[in-house]
Each structure stands twice: as C-alpha cells, then as structure tokens.
Amino acid sequence: MRAWGGDQVAEAVAGSVELLRTATDEDWTGVRAGRLEWTCRRTAEHVAGDLIAYAGQLAGRARTAYAPFEITFDEDAGQAGVLDVVETTGALLAAVVRTTPPRVRAFHPYPFRSADREGFAAMGVAEVILHTHDIAEGLGLAYEPPAGLCEDVLTRIFPHVRPGPEPWPTLLWATGRGELPGRAPVTGWRWHNNLVLPTGRLTLEGLTPAAAADLVAGGDGGFVWLGDAPYEGTREVAAGLLKAYHAGVHRPEFGAFALVRREDGRAVGSLGFHGTPDEEGRTEIGYDLVVPARGHGYATEAVDALAEWALARDDVRLLCAAVREANTPSQNVLTRAGFVRADVEREFLPEDDTPRLYTRRARPPAAP
C-alpha cells in the first residue's frame, strides 16, 4: 500500500490557496462562510490553527490531551497573509506526516482518543477541503477538490458512511453540507479514527476501508507482514469488511484488526467480528496467523484482549467462535482465552469437517 498522507495534505492546501488567492481583495470579515456562523476570515484562521495543532499533536506524540498551544495572527495580517499561514501550517503537517513512523499514534478525542499519521493527515485534508468549500460558497467561488482526495478521506475517517455515487457530494452530505438522494439530511457528525487495542506483545489495529481495499487487491494494507504477506484468511476478512462498508452496515468497532507485533512493528495475523451483535448481544469472531507466527501464543493473547474489550460493552453478552473438529490448535487458543465448548447439531458435514462452537459470556454485574 502506497504511503499516504503528506502528499495529500500538500495537494489539498495547494488547491485551496490557489483558489482563495483569487479573492483576497474581497471582504472576508463581513461575509459568512457558507452555512457556518464564522466569517470567511475566521474560517481560514481555523484551518491554519487545525493544521498546526495536528502537526503538534503528532510531532510531540501527545498522549492524553491536546498540547496547550494555539496560533495567533498579526493584527494587520490581510487575507493574503492568512493564506501564507495556511500554506506554512500545511507544509508543517505534511512534513510531520511524512517523517512519522506508521505505527505511531497521538491523542485525538474522536472517537477512541488517538489517531495515527494517516488519521491526522485525513483530518487535515478534510479541514482544508471542507472549509475551502465553506469560504468559496461565502465568496461566490466555484470549488471542487479532486475526487481521489475525497475518497481517501471517506475511506479513512468516515468508515461508517456508505459510499455514494461520487465522493465529493458524499463527503459534503456526511458533514451536513449537502444532500444525497434517498438519504436524510445530516445534522450532527464526527469523523471516526480507527480503534486500537494494546496487549502485552501486540497492538490490535482496526482496519480502515482503505486498508481493506488494498488487502483485497493483493496489497499489504499498509503493514509490514511477518513472512512478507498476510494469510489468505486476512484477505477474506478484508473483503467482508469492504462488502459491509459498501452496503452501509459497517460499524468500525465491530470490524477487523491487524495484529501488529510491538517488538518490530510486523503484522502477524488478523482478528475480527463476523458482524455486529444481534438483539441478544451475540456476535461471532474469527482469527488467523501467518505461519511463522504460530505457536507463540499471539492468537490467544489477541483473542483474550478482544473478548475483554467486547464483553465490557453494554451491547455484547456472548462471543462465539466456530472451529473445525480437526483444528485442535485453534480449539486450544479459544480454551486458553476463556472460551468453553458448546453443543451444536451436526448436519450435512462429514465428521472431520464439523464445526465446533466455542463461547465466552460477559461476566454478571457485581452485586451492589
């Protein structure tokens, strides 16, 4: 999967500034930016502030909160000066993204309190193109960013949004700035960085639709794999995630995860849900490891961590995993991870191919 982020931030900023420089003689302080309450100037200053904030978060590896700083403009800075600052802060974010290792994360509140370099880049691109749209609308300018940029943003930080016919109208709709046929207007929204769950030796990194699409196409999904390629089951899981995304039923927290070894940053397998919990709070999981990673307890560690996270939720009461009768190693993984064997009916399958069901239940609430 190609490195993504720095070049896209630079592309978004260049397109924005090129357009807005044609209107620096207009009154930016007396005109609202599109549907926002802010003026066009205030909106441009907001873009610059976000770009430098994202660069600071990622460069400083902020852990628990935003770094307590903000950008200020000289009192006599005109519109051209504001755009100079947007260019400068955009260049800083692009440089930080390009030089940050792929597994590094820093604090961002939505929704799981962290983002990686792609997440910060996608948020930066979104801020630039969406607010350029707002300013352009206020100033009566025509603006449409490249479709590829819009799709990149959607598949990285809007995984919960079903793709529409075209990426740009879909992004405008998803952020309350436009309409799409057959969809209700959006009145409130947040973007959605991927979920990451740490274990003792691993990090479970939620797959974005962008990563899933690359895996389905035969790529690496943005990971360096032990053994040089993912196991085929990982590509199948990615295909299922992508199908759910295009159907509009993908819930990222019940998607799929790459298992990344902390000691060297190599991915050793995948783990994920087969779907969202049903009305009784039941959902199924599956997992695989690349061959060189087997026999080291990674699967047990990952399954146990995911089970702990899922069963702590209010909407999950029972986790299930189906394992072939002959797959003793996988049955041992589930047993060590706290699952117990359940009775299932044997139908249509030969004895040695019959799936065995293992379950793990949520703990009952503690007595008052």
Give the pLDDT confidence score for residue 325 in this predicted structure: 86
Give the pLDDT confidence score for residue 366 in this predicted structure: 60
Could you give the CA distance from residue 368 to residue 358 in angstroms, rounded to a whole number?
31
Could you give the CA distance from residue 302 to residue 312 in angstroms, rounded to a whole number?
16
Domain locations in the chain as residue ranges: 6-174, 196-361
Give the pLDDT confidence score for residue 197 in this predicted structure: 97
Give the pLDDT confidence score for residue 346 in this predicted structure: 43
Give the pLDDT confidence score for residue 2 in this predicted structure: 86
Residues of the chain where predicted confidence (pLDDT) is lower than 70: 344-353, 365-368
- The domain covering 6-174 belongs, at the CATH homologous superfamily level, to dinb family like domain (1.20.120.450)
Neighbours of 68 (CB within 10 A): 7
Give the pLDDT confidence score for residue 343 in this predicted structure: 72
Give the pLDDT confidence score for residue 153 in this predicted structure: 98
125 and 171 in contact (C-beta within 8 Å)? Answer: no
Find tokens 């016919």 and name the residue: 165
Give the pLDDT confidence score for residue 350 in this predicted structure: 44
The 10s digit of each residue's pLDDT in 288-300 is 999 999 999 999 9
Residue 233: is it exposed, middle or buried by C-beta count within 10 angstroms (0-12/13-18/19+)? middle
Give the pLDDT confidence score for residue 367 in this predicted structure: 56
Domains 6-174 and 196-361 share a fold: no
298 and 259 in contact (C-beta within 8 Å)? Answer: yes
Tell me the CB-side half-sphere exposure of residue 46, using CA atoms within 13 A: 18
Give the pLDDT confidence score for residue 75 in this predicted structure: 86
Give the pLDDT confidence score for residue 250 in this predicted structure: 96
Could you give the CA distance from residue 88 to residue 82 in angstroms, rounded to a whole number?
10
Give the pLDDT confidence score for residue 347 in this predicted structure: 41
Answering whether pTM is above 0.75, one says yes
Helices vs. strands in the chain: H and E counts, helices first: 10, 11
CATH number of 196-361: 3.40.630.30
Sequence-ordered strand ranges (E) for 249-334: 256-261, 266-273, 282-289, 318-324
